[in-house]
């Protein structure tokens, strides 16, 4: 007569299936590191053309018309991304990876900053003035070497939040639909959200929604920058003191954090089409110099990598099965 088997005293091992969104975010980030932006047929450029068609049909410098155009431009592609992101793990991974690669701009951002630095080192100020316009919307025709260097560093800081951290954060929270939603919103802000007579009313919704979706990634960028600086307390004190001088609720904290981490002074007067904007003084260091540009490039890359690690860890912890 066989003895009844004794129940095992070892606890059952709980397994957690791979996370398709996490895998897709990591794959998309790696694709951006290796390939940068697609050179042809970039989805963001295609969305820009679509938004241009919507604007042509809906334009009128009124808030309600701008809101209608915003909805017509954004809702269909976010819905499409949400539908495409459903299905089995392989499909969700591929869709997330493709959306993340298309939305991320970290490697292209670093390359543009490096190109501006190289031109300034070579003494080609006219070419540097033109090249930095790839990064900023301000006028640079009469910019000094210091002005060009400051524009590059400020853009590296702001776009690290907009084109890297925000993609990873919203992807981590909402999957491919979050990636596409933020990229669409940020693109419409660049197209319609700037201050000009044409977009005074029409672009207001685009600007406000971008401020809302950019709030969390900007604070994540500040924390990552502070942590990487080795002087987190000092960086956060500068942010608390100086960020409010900047007209943007999100670029202000990000640029103040970068100024403190790099030990430079950012902000000042910038000339845009039709107006001059005073961004106050951010940081306590000396004015930006040419050698500070590659330091800002390195900081941008490090912030992106740290954010990816934090997002992947957060998703893993959120998916961890409860303890028995």
Q: Let me know: does 93 contact 27? Beta carbons within 8 Å.
A: yes
Tokens of 89: 């793990």
pLDDT in tens, 158-187: 999 999 999 999 999 999 999 999 999 999
d(CA 283, CA 266): 6
Tokens of 75: 């809702």
Q: How far is CA 35 from CA 101, 102, 132, 198, 318, in A?
A: 9, 11, 22, 37, 31
Secondary structure of residue 277 in the 3-state scheme? strand
In the chain, where the domains are located: 20-319
Q: Let me know: does 92 contact 175? Beta carbons within 8 Å.
A: yes
**Within 10 A of 201 (CB to CB), how many other CB atoms are there?**
15
Q: How far is CA 294 from CA 30, 69, 230, 324, in A?
A: 21, 39, 18, 50
**Within 10 A of 164 (CB to CB), how many other CB atoms are there?**
28
d(CA 177, CA 79): 7
Helix H or strand E encompassing 23: helix 20-35
Q: Within 13 Å, how many C-alpha atoms sit on residue 187's CB side?
A: 26
| Whether pLDDT at 274 is above 70 | no
Q: How far is CA 17 from CA 22, 93, 174, 306, 321, in A?
A: 11, 13, 18, 24, 11
pLDDT of residue 13: 47
Closest CA to 305 of 110, 98, 165: 165
CA angle 201-207-212, nearest 5°? Answer: 140
d(CA 84, CA 73): 18
d(CA 219, CA 46): 30
pLDDT of residue 276: 74
d(CA 251, CA 262): 16
pLDDT in tens, 85-96: 999 999 999 999
d(CA 274, CA 317): 49
- Mean pLDDT to the nearest integer, 222-236: 98
- Tell which wins on pLDDT, 132 or 270: 132
| Whether pLDDT at 15 is above 80 | no
- Mean pLDDT to the nearest integer, 147-167: 96
Closest CA to 125 of 112, 116, 134: 116
Q: How confident is the model at residue 6 (pLDDT cuts 50, 70, 90)?
A: low
- 104 in the Ramachandran plot: left (φ > 0), alpha (ψ -120 to 50) or beta? beta
Summary mean pLDDT of the chain? 92
pLDDT of residue 88: 94
pTM of the model: 0.91
- Tell which wins on pLDDT, 145 or 4: 145
């Amino acid at each position: 007569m066989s003895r009844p088997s004794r129940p095992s005293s070892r606890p059952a091992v709980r397994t957690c299936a791979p996370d398709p969104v996490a895998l897709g975010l990591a794959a998309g980030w790696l694709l951006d590191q290796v390939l940068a932006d697609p050179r042809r047929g970039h989805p963001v450029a295609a969305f820009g053309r679509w938004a241009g068609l919507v604007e042509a049909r809906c334009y009128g410098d009124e808030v309600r018309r701008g809101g209608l155009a915003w909805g017509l431009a954004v809702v269909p592609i976010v819905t499409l991304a949400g539908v495409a992101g459903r299905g089995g793990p392989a499909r969700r991974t591929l869709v997330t990876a493709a959306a993340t690669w298309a939305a991320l701009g970290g490697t292209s951002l670093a390359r543009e900053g490096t190109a501006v630095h190289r031109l300034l080192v070579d003494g080609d100020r006219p070419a540097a003035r033109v090249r930095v316009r790839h990064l900023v919307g301000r006028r640079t025709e009469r910019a000094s070497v210091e002005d060009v260097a400051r524009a590059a560093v400020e853009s590296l800081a702001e776009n690290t939040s907009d084109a890297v951290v925000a993609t990873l954060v919203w992807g981590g929270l909402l999957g491919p639909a979050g990636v596409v939603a933020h990229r669409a919103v940020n693109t419409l802000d660049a197209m319609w959200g700037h201050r000009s007579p044409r977009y005074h009313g029409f672009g207001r919704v685009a600007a406000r929604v971008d401020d809302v979706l950019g709030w969390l990634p900007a604070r994540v960028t500040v924390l990552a920058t502070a942590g990487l600086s080795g002087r987190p307390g000092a960086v956060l004190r500068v942010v608390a003191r100086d960020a409010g001088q900047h007209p943007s609720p999100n670029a202000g904290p990000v640029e103040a954090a970068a100024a403190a981490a790099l030990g430079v002074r950012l902000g000042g007067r910038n000339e845009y089409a039709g107006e001059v904007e005073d961004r106050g003084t951010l940081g306590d260091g000396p004015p930006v110099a040419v050698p500070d540009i590659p330091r800002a490039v390195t900081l941008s890359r490090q912030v992106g990598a740290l954010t990816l690690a934090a997002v992947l860890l957060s998703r893993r912890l959120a998916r961890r099965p409860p303890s028995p």
